[in-house]
Amino acid sequence: MHRYWLNQIVLLFLVSLSSSWCIAQEFPTKPIRIIVPFAPGGSNDVVMRQLAPLLTEELGQTVIVENRPGGGATIGMDLVAKSKPDGYTLGVANTSFGANPFVMSKMPFDTMKDFSPVCLVGKVPLVVVINPAVPVKNIKELIDYAKKNPDLINYGSAGNASAPHLAGALFEYMTGVKMTHIPYKSGGEATAALLGNVTQLQFAAVPSAIQQIRSNRLNPLAVTTLDRDESLPDVPTIDQSGVKDFDMADWIGIVVPIGTPEPVIKRLNDAFIKVLNKPETRMNLSKAGARTIGGSAEELKNFINKELNTWQKVVKAANIKIN
């Protein structure tokens, strides 16, 4: 009897392997959609629309980008979480994906249990820009000025728990300074307020701030990643400016519903990496402010775990809440 059941287990295992192999060989057989949980025009949307035709060519099926904004990126990601786990519905996760579980009083899905990682596509560095009327020229002077004048530094963002807001909260957490966050409806409105000195500071995506920097309407103090940005080679990092290990960017990752077969995830990961490794892809995404990364599904899983750990502490310290 024991041998009979052992044979049955081995048979089931072999059938499973054969089934997985068949799935990997056949996938995909119909169009794939990528859900961007933000409105058109943002960095996540721009990057995905540049990758979609290349992925279409690589996978042999049409890849469609679909915007589902709202709910602090939870509406679109909830659609992904509740989709059939077959590899035909992908979701774009970013910084809010790691912060939302601690920012929102109620989540429509479980960030850790309802998704499987596919690939970390890239990161969009931010730059600390300041209105020229503020008498500081670098991060050290900003910290000193903010500590002496805790009510004089307002920083704007595209909304509560957006990447620029979280970057500011992380800066406060790591330096001990206190600043006032002013949420706007868009990054454009936040920049307009900064130019008018309604706010004094902004953690802005590099592409959105670069023209204002070059025209001397805004002064750059530092970029938020550990490495300098190639479009701003003379601007130091926050880490180089004395706030050791400060490293933050608005990242772009691909996830699928939990239960998606591993061979399908591997097929998708291979396609993304092949596309991201093309020199023209790197050049085009760089123009959109994104640094291409790639890497395995396991590496994205570890990265998301690190993000969750970071934002749990920062969100609690900053008391960031969205009801």
**pLDDT single digits (tens) 96-123:** 999 999 999 899 999 999 999 999 999 9
In this prediction, residue 172 carries a pLDDT of 96
Residue 229 covered by a domain:
no
Answer yes or no: do 136 and 194 share one domain: yes
pTM of the model: 0.85
Answer yes or no: do 219 and 129 share one domain: yes
Among the candidates 173, 205, 223, a domain finishes at 223
In this prediction, residue 151 carries a pLDDT of 87
Tell me the Cα Rg of the chain.
22
Answer yes or no: do 163 and 197 share one domain: yes
Domain total in the chain? 2
Q: Are the C-beta atoms of 201 and 223 separated by less than 8 Å? A: no
- Report the phi/psi class of residue 295: left, alpha or beta, with left for phi > 0 and alpha for psi in -120 to 50: left
CA distances from 183 to 141, 194, 220, 228, 320 (A): 24, 12, 21, 27, 12
Residue 46 vs residue 244, higher pLDDT: 244
Answer yes or no: do 116 and 166 share one domain: no
| Confidence band for 128, pLDDT divided at 50, 70 and 90 | very high
Answer yes or no: do 134 and 218 share one domain: yes
The pairing of beta strand 201-205 with beta strand 154-157: parallel
- In the chain, where does DSSP find H-type helix? 2-26, 43-59, 74-81, 95-103, 139-148, 163-175, 187-195, 206-214, 262-276, 279-287, 297-318
Query: Nearest Cα to 119, choosing from 309, 275, 279?
Result: 275
- The answer to whether the Cα torsion of 205, 209, 214, 218 is positive or negative is negative
pLDDT at 23 over 80: no
CB contact set of 168 (below 8 Å; sequence gap of 6+): 155, 157, 179, 181, 201, 203
Answer yes or no: do 99 and 144 share one domain: no
Answer yes or no: do 255 and 108 share one domain: yes
In this prediction, residue 2 carries a pLDDT of 58
Q: What CATH number has the domain bearing residue 288?
A: 3.40.190.150
Residue 232 covered by a domain:
no
Answer yes or no: do 308 and 161 share one domain: no
In this prediction, residue 208 carries a pLDDT of 82
Beta-ladder partners of 128: 203, 222
Q: Are the C-beta atoms of 255 and 90 separated by less than 8 Å? A: yes
In this prediction, residue 19 carries a pLDDT of 47
Residue 290's domain comprises: 32-124+250-318
Whole-angstrom Cα distance, residue 307 to residue 299?
Answer: 12
Task: Tell me the per-residue pLDDT of 206-216, one tens digit each, with 9 for 90 and over.
Answer: 888 888 999 99
Whole-angstrom Cα distance, residue 316 to residue 300?
Answer: 24
| Tokens standing for residue 12 | 């089931």
CB contact set of 110 (below 8 Å; sequence gap of 6+): none
Answer yes or no: do 130 and 199 share one domain: yes
Read off the pLDDT of each residue in 253-282 and give the average, rounded to a whole number.
Answer: 97
Whole-angstrom Cα distance, residue 272 to residue 54?
Answer: 9
Answer yes or no: do 115 and 260 share one domain: yes
Instruction: Characterize 258-275 residue by residue with b for buried, 16 or more Cβ atoms within 10 angstroms of its Cβ, and e for exposed.
Output: eebbebbbbbbbebbbeb
Answer yes or no: do 196 and 262 share one domain: no
Read off the pLDDT of each residue in 229-250 and give the average, rounded to a whole number.
Answer: 95
